[in-house]
Every structure is written in structure tokens, then in C-alpha cells.
């Protein structure tokens, strides 16, 4: 996957670039509209991560450039402003998704992957992990080829785990993924145990292995070991 990260906070964009490069993607960064347009004119990207507040203007202005220069590219807007207006305008002008700062990088990764499946692979991809496969566009989960009935939240959780496999996922990030409400009203994350318990039970009942390792006091890690 080839990414362009348009973000004026250098520290933040370096962290993002490092993260995506680690998972084998090519990630470039631009710290203003000027640099972004340079990159966009010269190369094709799969995904653009776009910050709204840029030093030389609103990131929303780059949306037109992306549409005219890129053949098929998913755009995810990042914004420090938790403003509904930005969200509506952004999505209206051709952005595909919207994430508010501060965010968990695993959430961003999960969204980027979902966007990639939807935009680039036209939604007909199957997400595989060992004996588990998920038809993401139909929200169907299969273990050893047999359909397992999961709730919407459980499916979303499983996609999140597989998209971020081999990573320690803090319970905070999991809670925020399940519960999208922008303001975390409850600062108690215990409720995620119920979801995880149910998910584990259903997968095991269908003959699947439990790949979800508990990292004591911190969260979980979805991996083979």
C-alpha cells in the first residue's frame, strides 16, 4: 500500500510514517499543501491521510487536487477540531472517512485498511487469519469455512484484531473502537470484557483457536503465539 500523510506536526507524521512502514507499506509525508501538491502530481497513492489544519490553508482545499490527480485513492481526514461541520464538508467534498485527534494508531490502521479494501479492492476482499476468514463487505465470519453468527460489534472487533495483529491493543483503544462516541463518557473500560468473552466463546464453539492473548493489565494481542 502506498500512503501519503499530509500533516503539519512533524513528530506526529514521523510516527505515522514509521508505523505504516513497519507493516510493509510505502509512506510519504508532506507538511503543508505545497508539498502535498508536489507529491500528488508526481505519484499515485492508494490512501491519503489528510490533516485539516495546515499552515498554508485548510486541508479541505487539497481534496480537489486529490480528485484531479489521483485515479483511485481513499482519503481519510484527520482533524483536531471535533466539529461536525468539518466532517460533513469533508465527506461531501470526496473524503471517505474522518477521524478526530487524538486517535489510537490502531484505530487509524483499521480504518485505513477498511478504506483500502473498500476503495482499492472494491470491497470483494476476504480478510484471512489462519482458519478464520471474514467477508468484510457482507460482515460474514467463517471458521474452517463454516459461517459463524457474530453481532455487528463482535465482527467489528474481530476485524480490528486481525487488522492489527501482532500488536498490543490497549483496552482504551479497543473500547473506543467498539464505542465510537467521540467523547468517552465512561472512563471505565471493563465493559469490553463482555464483548471479548462472547467473541472468544463463539469462535471456539465453531472449532477455531483463540488467538487473543491477554496482556495483563494492559489489553490484548491477536497473534499466533
Partner 1 sequence: MKLIQRTNRNFLGILLSIVPLASIGLFFLLNLFIHNEVDEKLRVDEKRIIEQLKSGASVKSVKPIFEVSVTNNSSKELSKIRNARVYDPIEKEMEPFRELLCVKKINNEMYSIVVRQATIEAEDLLFVVIFVISGVFLLLFVVLFILNARISKKIWKPFQFNLSQLHHFSLKSGSEIELQDASIDEFKELNTSLVQMTSLMNQDYRILKEFTENASHEIQTPLAIMSLNLEEIIQEDLPEKTLAKVYTVFQSTQRLSKLNEKLLLLAKLDNQQYTADVLISLNSILEKQLEDFQPFFENRQIIVSTSIESSLQVQMDSVLANILIANLLSNAVKYNREKGNISLSINSERMLISNATDQNIDCNLIFNRFKKGTDTVDSTGLGLSIVKKISELSKLQISASLTDGIFQIILKK
With binding defined as CB under 8 A, does residue 89 bind partner 1?
no
Alpha helix (H) ranges present in the chain? Answer: 10-22, 33-42, 62-69, 84-92, 105-119, 152-163, 171-178, 192-205
**Residue 8 contacts residue 32 (beta carbons within 8 Å):** yes
Q: Tell me how far apart the alpha carbons of residues 127 and 136 are, in angstroms, rounded to a whole number.
A: 7
Q: Which range in 36-44, 76-84, 138-146, 200-208 contacts partner 1 by CB under 8 A?
A: 76-84
Burial of 198 (0-12, 13-18, 19+ CB in 10 A): middle
Residues 112-171 that bind partner 1 (CB under 8 A): 167-168, 170
User: Is the CB of 140 or the CB of 198 nearer to partner 1?
Assistant: 198
Q: What's the min distance (Å) between Cβ of 60 and partner 1?
A: 17
Please answer whether residues 157 and 196 qualify as being in contact, where contact means their C-beta atoms are separated by less than 8 angstroms: yes
Nearer to partner 1, 84 or 205 (CB): 84
CB of 78 to partner 1, least distance (A): 9
Which member of 4, 16, 27, 95 binds partner 1 (CB under 8 A)? 16
Q: Give the C-alpha separation, 48 to 32, whole Å.
A: 13
Can you give the binding site for partner 1, defined by CB under 8 A?
9, 11-12, 15-16, 18-19, 80-82, 84, 101-106, 167-168, 170, 172-173, 178-179, 181-188, 190-195, 216-218
Amino acid at each position: 500500500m502506498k500512503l501519503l500523510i499530509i500533516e503539519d506536526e512533524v513528530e506526529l507524521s514521523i510516527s505515522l510514517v514509521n508505523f505504516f512502514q513497519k507493516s510493509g507499506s510505502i509512506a510519504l509525508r508532506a507538511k503543508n499543501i505545497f508539498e502535498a501538491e508536489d507529491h500528488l502530481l508526481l505519484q499515485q497513492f492508494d490512501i491519503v491521510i489528510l490533516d485539516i489544519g495546515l499552515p498554508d490553508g485548510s486541508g479541505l482545499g487539497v481534496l480537489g487536487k486529490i480528485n484531479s490527480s489521483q485515479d483511485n485513492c481513499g482519503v481519510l481526514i484527520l482533524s483536531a477540531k471535533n466539529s461536525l461541520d468539518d466532517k460533513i464538508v469533508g465527506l461531501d467534498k470526496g473524503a471517505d472517512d474522518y477521524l478526530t485527534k487524538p486517535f489510537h494508531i490502531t484505530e487509524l490502521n483499521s480504518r485505513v485498511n477498511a478504506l483500502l479494501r473498500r476503495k482499492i479492492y472494491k470491497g470483494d476482499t476476504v480478510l484471512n487469519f489462519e482458519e478464520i476468514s471474514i467477508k468484510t463487505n457482507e460482515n460474514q465470519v467463517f471458521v474452517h469455512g463454516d459461517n459463524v453468527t457474530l453481532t455487528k460489534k463482535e465482527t467489528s472487533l474481530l476485524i480490528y484484531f486481525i487488522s492489527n495483529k501482532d500488536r498490543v491493543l490497549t483496552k482504551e483503544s479497543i473500547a473506543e473502537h467498539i464505542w465510537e462516541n467521540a467523547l468517552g463518557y465512561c472512563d471505565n473500560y471493563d465493559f469490553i470484557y463482555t464483548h471479548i468473552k462472547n467473541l472468544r466463546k463463539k469462535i471456539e464453539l465453531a472449532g477455531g483457536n483463540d488467538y487473543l492473548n491477554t496482556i495483563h493489565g494492559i489489553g490484548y494481542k491477536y497473534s499466533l503465539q
